[in-house]
Amino acid sequence: MISSKRNTTKSFNRVRTVLIIGMTAIGLLLTGCAGVNYLRDAQSAFSEAARLENQLRTSSTTATEANDLLLESEIRAGYASAIASIAKLDSAQIASLKSDKLWGVVLTIKALSYWRLGEYDKMEKIAKQAQGIEDQVYPRDRALLLALPGLRRVDEAHAIIAADIRGKDRSEETKIKEERLKTVERLVKNATAILIEARQSVSEEHSVRSYLLQSELGGYKNLLDARNKFRTGGRLNPAEVEEVKQLLTKLDCSFKHFLKEDDLLVARTKVVLAWQVRFGLVNSDFSCRELGPF
């Protein structure tokens, strides 16, 4: 009876020892993941800022100007936080991330954050660094890095439209408007070409296509705004409208590739329709036929 009890106690102690050793080993290994943790922090900060920014841009609810300003500063803080998390990486952690082939992800987040903060030089510098590590850049990030110059041009076009026009007289203002319109047209044209290239770098099934398609549509919306602002009542010409229509159909196809059921329905009824409204194409049907019925 006593012997049996002693044996049981021994077995228990062994198991406990193994568990302690195992946990210690895992803990030690995960301690080497600090760099990945910083990256994850950066990803989280970036995604949250992007979510807020998209909400601010597309929400139908009317917010006050003060709320918008608060939100904007929160968004900028989010992107800055993403960059700050990456900046915490020491050389060992950087080496570890490179060894884990995560360096491309790091650079992509950093470049995207600089883009959103309007620090285009830094954005380009980081994007160039990424070109040197092709083996560490994966399809989504590759497409985004390719798209960045195009995304920048879309932003620049928007900034031109939003800027005040101050000429000494009406004719000078008209001249300024025409010059600005030409600049916007050139920027949007370049942006479109770049975004198409980026889009073509991924398969049709890849979800990043829907983002790139919407970015192209954003460029066209800026072109529409510029025409309307700089030439009262100006709009897209029929060829440009046709291009927008094709983009809308492609957007629908893109959603259809990677979304199912309710998610697809929401994407179509909210996202595609919102773009239709922006371009005055609410009465047209942009359902993706090539992938069969909805």
Partner 1 sequence: MPNTASIILFGIQSALRLGQQARQAYVDSTRNRALVLPLPNFNPAPNAGSALIYYADEPDEEIPVPIREAVGKSRANPENPGLTQEESRMVLDYYNEYLLMRSDTWESIVPSPEGSFLTRDSVAAAVKIREWDREAKWQGVGQWDQEGAPGPSPLQRVAGTIVEIGIDYFAHVPGAFNEETRQGKAVRAVLTSLDKVEFVDKPLGDLPIRLFIATLEGVAENAELLTSDEETQKLISVTTSSLASEVSERIQQLRAESEGRTDADKENGIIYWAELVFRSVLSSGGRLIASDPKTYLGIDNTGDAALVTKVGESVIDFVLKLPEGELHRTFGKEGLNVVVTAALRAVGEHPEIIIRKDGNGKTIGASADGLKKLLSDIATDLGNMPRLIYRPALLPDIARLILEKSGENITVLWPEFSADPRKNLLVVAAQKTLEILTQKLTGARWTPQFDDSDLVLVTEAVLDAFVENPGWLIDSAGGANENYRVALEATIEVLRKRGDARLSTATGIDILRAVLRAVALRQEFLEDIDTGEKLVGAAVEAILAPLFPEQVELDPKAAVVLLRREVLSTIVDESLQALSRADLGSKVLRQQHVDDLQKLLNEHIDQILKGKSWGLKVFLDGLEKALPSALVVNP
Please identify, using beta-carbon distances, which residue of 131 and 269 lies nearer to partner 1. 269
Q: Which stretch binds partner 1 (CB under 8 A): 49-57, 164-172, 246-254, 255-263?
A: 49-57
Q: Which of 5, 57, 168, 170 binds partner 1 (CB under 8 A)?
A: 57
Q: Is 94 near partner 1 (CB under 8 A)?
A: no
**Least separation in angstroms between CB 236 and partner 1:** 6
Q: Taking Cα atoms as reference points, which of 219, 146, 214 lies closest to residue 185?
A: 219
Q: Which of 142, 180, 199, 227 binds partner 1 (CB under 8 A)?
A: 227
Q: Is 158 near partner 1 (CB under 8 A)?
A: yes
Tokens at 166, concatenated: 């101050």
Q: Which of 1, 2, 66, 282 binds partner 1 (CB under 8 A)?
A: 282
Q: Taking Cα atoms as reference points, which of 290, 109, 294 lies closest to residue 204?
A: 290
In a 13 Å sphere around the CA of 149, the CA atoms on its Cβ side amount to: 13
Tokens at 292, concatenated: 């069969």
Phi and psi torsions of 50, nearest 5°? -65, -40
Q: Is 119 near partner 1 (CB under 8 A)?
A: no
Please identify, using beta-carbon distances, which residue of 100 and 204 lies nearer to partner 1. 100
Q: Is 163 near partner 1 (CB under 8 A)?
A: no
Q: Which of 110, 180, 209, 221 binds partner 1 (CB under 8 A)?
A: 221
Please identify, using beta-carbon distances, which residue of 199 and 221 lies nearer to partner 1. 221
Q: Which of 8, 90, 101, 242 binds partner 1 (CB under 8 A)?
A: 101
Q: Which of 109, 127, 184, 251 binds partner 1 (CB under 8 A)?
A: 109
**Least separation in angstroms between CB 219 and partner 1:** 7
Please identify, using beta-carbon distances, which residue of 154 and 288 lies nearer to partner 1. 154
Please identify, using beta-carbon distances, which residue of 30 and 133 lies nearer to partner 1. 30
Q: Is 88 near partner 1 (CB under 8 A)?
A: no
Q: Is 131 near partner 1 (CB under 8 A)?
A: no
Q: Taking Cα atoms as reference points, which of 157, 258, 169, 283 lies closest to residue 217?
A: 157
Q: Which of 130, 199, 211, 288 binds partner 1 (CB under 8 A)?
A: 211
Q: Which of 47, 73, 200, 246 binds partner 1 (CB under 8 A)?
A: 47
Please identify, using beta-carbon distances, which residue of 139 and 290 lies nearer to partner 1. 139
Q: Is 138 near partner 1 (CB under 8 A)?
A: yes
Q: Is 167 near partner 1 (CB under 8 A)?
A: no
Q: Which of 34, 36, 193, 259 binds partner 1 (CB under 8 A)?
A: 36
DSSP the chain: -HHHHHHHHHHHHHHHHHHHHHHHHHHHHHHTTHHHHHHHHHHHHHHHHHHHHHHHHH--S---HHHHHHHHHHHHHHHHHHHHHHHT--HHHHHHHHHTT-HHHHHHHHHHHHHHTT-HHHHHHHHHHHHTTGGG--HHHHHHHHHHHHHHHHHHHHHHHHS----SSHHHHHHHHHHHHHHHHHHHHHHHHHHHHHHHTS-TT-THHHHHHHHHHHHHHHHHHHHHHHTTT----HHHHHHHHHHHHHHHHHHHHH--HHHHHHIIIIIIHHHHHHTT-TTS-----TT---
Please identify, using beta-carbon distances, which residue of 226 and 253 lies nearer to partner 1. 226
